[in-house]
Amino acid sequence: MQKNITVIEGDGIGPEVTRQSVKILNAIAAQFNHTFNYTYHLMGAVAIDKTGNPLPDETIESCLNSDAVLFGAIGHPKYDNDPTAKVRPEQGLLKLRKSLQLFANIRPVNTYPALQHLAPLKAEKLEGVDFIIFRELTGGIYFGKKELSEDGTKASDDCVYTTPEIERIAHLAFQYAQKPERRKKLTLVDKANVLETSRLWRKVVQEISKQYPDVAVDYMFVDNASMQIMLNPKQFDIVLTENMFGDIISDEASVLSGSLGLLPSASVGTGTVLFEPIHGSYPQAAGKDIANPLGSILSAAMMLEHFGLSTEAALVREAVKWTLENGFVSKDIEPVNFYFTSTIGDLISDYVKSTDHERIN
Ligand code: IPM
Ligand code: MN
């Protein structure tokens, strides 16, 4: 199989974690006779520094012409601490999501027995936690009209959703819920007791649910949902929600797996699919080789799955599990006896390359 991948390393720890994924994709390619061609492009603060634009046209162009995009992270503290900056790194990612019409961000949340001690919940609450957040990604308050009054004392962000925007992600989430490996339950997270947009979500989802009679649906207000994620995370199977609620509850949910650095995601739409860890650019760790590469590596596994390469994806996941079980973990997980980002990448790449897996078992 031959695939063209646009790689956007981005800011902060983006380059170092993404390089581990490329290393592992190369190991997979060598092992299974595939060809992955990479084209590197800029986005985020690095793109602003080099071109003045957080998302240069050639980056969009390359993504549109690729089979998939592998993205690292975005953001820089110099912008976070300057609320008046007009050009901001995050605008790059938001524009890319819009340009590629990546309307659904799929964020699986799993727990690993080897990491249960890191989560603030008791082990019995964590065993068997396995849910997927479907976060709407191209609408809502992120993309509504933004205004700041002349005198700078009044600001607003509109939250807008249309029925078709809700329908397309709802269908995707319901279809996912029907998969043999899922538990056929969908929870819509909204704030329908207050927000008009949430009431539209509820109405549309109620209507669509009739087409999926085998999927049980429940509805939960976002404030309650964020409590339920901590109280009883096992109850969730497919969680469907709008853009900002999805952003917030997915960071919260990452706590269950032991580290934000572990969670991967796929952003799908009408064409090219983008894969990225859910974590941010973690500038304090940038260039130190201490970031957790697993969120990116598991995103690469989702990419393999997307290419139809299930065996390859399963091997990467197995290798990830093996590093966790054997203590080959990064600093976020083991602050003293940690392994470097690049070493973890090497170990996983070696695991993939050792066909019989004898050497490491
Ligand atoms: C994420 C990030 C982004 C978001 C930022 C960097 C714009 O937090 O992918 O979750 O809010 O969507
Ligand atoms: Mn986020």
Q: Rounded CA gap, 164 and 174, in Å?
A: 15
Considering every ligand atom shown, identify the ligand nearest to the alpha carbon of residue 243 and give its number.
1
Whole-number pLDDT of residue 119: 85
**Which of the following is catalytic: 3, 11, 79, 142?**
142
Q: What is the pLDDT of residue 182?
A: 98
Q: What is the pLDDT of residue 361?
A: 42
Structural domains for the chain: 1-102+268-361 (3.40.718.10), 120-257 (3.40.718.10)
CA of 74, closest atom in ligand 1: 6
Task: Check whether 251 is labelled as a binding-site residue.
Answer: yes
Tell me the CA distances in angstroms from 7 to 42, 63, 134, 287, 340, one per residue in order.
9, 9, 24, 18, 22
Compute, in degrees rounded to 10, the torsion defined by CA atoms 64, 25, 247, 92. -40
Q: Are strands 266-268 and 273-275 parallel, antiparallel or unpaired?
A: antiparallel
- How far apart are the C-alpha atoms of 41 and 7, rounded to whole Å? 6
97 a known binding residue? yes
Helix/strand/coil for 238: strand
Nearest-ligand number for the alpha carbon of 12: 1
pLDDT in tens, the chain (361 residues): 999 999 999 999 999 999 999 999 999 999 999 999 999 999 999 999 999 999 999 999 999 999 999 999 999 999 999 989 999 999 999 999 999 999 999 999 999 989 988 888 998 999 999 999 999 999 999 999 999 999 999 999 999 999 999 999 999 999 999 999 999 999 999 999 999 999 999 999 999 999 999 999 999 999 999 999 999 999 999 999 999 999 999 999 999 998 999 999 999 999 999 999 999 999 999 999 999 999 999 999 999 999 999 999 999 999 999 999 999 999 999 999 999 999 999 999 999 999 665 444 4
pLDDT at 360: 45
Query: Would you say 223 is a known binding-site residue?
Result: yes
Res 356: pLDDT: 62
Burial of 214 per CB tally in 10 Å (0-12, 13-18, 19+)? exposed
- How far is 93 from 169, CA to CA, in rounded Å? 19
**CA 137 to ligand 1: nearest atom:** 12
What pLDDT, on the 0 to 100 scale, is given for residue 160?
98
Tokens of residue 355, six digits:
């066909």
- Which pLDDT score is estimated for 357? 55
Query: Contact, 236 vs 273, CB < 8 A?
Result: no
List 223, 288, 321, 350, catalytic entry: 223
In sequence order, what are the beta bridge partners of 144? none
Ligand 1: distance of its center to the CA of 35 in Å? 31
Ligand 1 atom closest to 251 (CA)? 10
158: annotated active-site residue: no
Ligand approaching nearest to the C-alpha of 264: 1
Give pTM, 2 decimals: 0.95
3-state secondary structure of 276: coil
| 112 part of the active site | no
For the record, the structure tokens of 244 come out as: 């900002």
Catalytic residue selected from 237, 247, 289, 332:
247
**Residues in CB range of 300: below 8 A, 6 or more apart:** 21, 24, 25, 70, 275, 316
